[in-house]
Amino acid sequence: MVAVTDAITVRGLHKAYGKHVAVDGVDLDVRAGEVFALLGPNGAGKTTTVEILEGFRKRTSGDVRVLGVDPHQADEAWRARVGVVLQSTGEFDDLTAREVVHHFANYYPSAADPDEIVERVGLAEKRDERTRTLSGGQKRRLDVALGIIGRPELLFLDEPTTGFDPEARREFWGLIRDLAGSGTTILLTTHYLDEAEALADRVGVLSGGKLIAVDSPDRLGGRGQGGVTVGWQGPDGPATERTETPTALVARLAEQFGGEVPGLTVTRPSLEDVYLRMIGAGE
């Protein structure tokens, strides 16, 4: 393990395709050991940024360091320290889950025990099943097994739960939390705001190729300090009031109603509310 404060450091990252600027001056730090979610609409520059960090795409300009190394000039030793889980790794229909993981373990100098990895990602009961028989969620777990078999210090997850049903998504979140708990740094891209809120220590929002905000999910865009909407059932029907002092308002309502306030709700802006407002402003 390399003793670095930040697993990823980016300064002034630009990527242009002819006259089209896909990434426009991005500065980004991802701390070692954290889960960082990169958010943004289609065309915002997420995929280009992540592919540059993974070493799959050349940048136009800027400075990029991933685990202390420029990924475009990285060698095999660096690649062994990085795990990548793409939206679709590939098909291995005629192999069992165990055979696939054992095969990929041969590519790494210090691979983890394949059977332990199969169990860790929740495929122990399916280890001897042909991969064509696995469900979508089980295939995604196999993708993660291939991403972590080399004991990566940094793991890239690209839209990891696209197409999952709600139960499968929650189960997959448990796997990600387990990986994060073991000290793996994770950079996650997702369109699911609840996923980012559930998993990420911090989130970054890309819009129009620019990184317009970075903060924890509960503080993004001033979310933790924004006004609160208090709702209740008044004598003339439902009523709401937006306030910066919800406790005082609820106390006044309780006094007005002589105790419990009927239909009381206290709602802060959701992460989705803040995100949509931010990308709207960015565009």
pLDDT tens readout for residues 36-46: 999 999 889 99
pLDDT of 172: 85
Find, among 123, 105, 121, 103, the residue nearest to 113 by Cα.
105
Q: How confident is the model at residue 103 (pLDDT cuts 50, 70, 90)?
A: very high
pTM above 0.75, yes or no: yes
CA 264 – CA 283 distance, rounded (Å):
36
Contact of 6 with 32, CB cutoff 8 Å:
yes
Per-residue pLDDT of 190-237, as tens digits, reads 989 999 999 999 999 999 999 999 999 988 887 767 678 899 999 989
Q: Give the chain's mean pLDDT.
A: 90
For 255-275, letters b (16+ CB in 10 Å) and e give eeeeeebeeeeeeebebeebb
Q: Which CATH superfamily is domain 6-221 in?
A: P-loop containing nucleotide triphosphate hydrolases (3.40.50.300)
For 187-208, letters b (16+ CB in 10 Å) and e give bbbbebbebbbbbbebbbbbbb
Q: Tell me the domain boundaries of the chain.
A: 6-221, 225-282
Per-residue pLDDT of 71-93, as tens digits, reads 999 999 999 999 998 776 567 88
pLDDT of 3: 44
- The answer on pLDDT for 261 being more than 70 is yes
> Which helix (H) or strand (E) covers residue 65, if one does?
strand 61-66
Find, among 197, 162, 155, 161, the residue nearest to 178 by Cα.
155
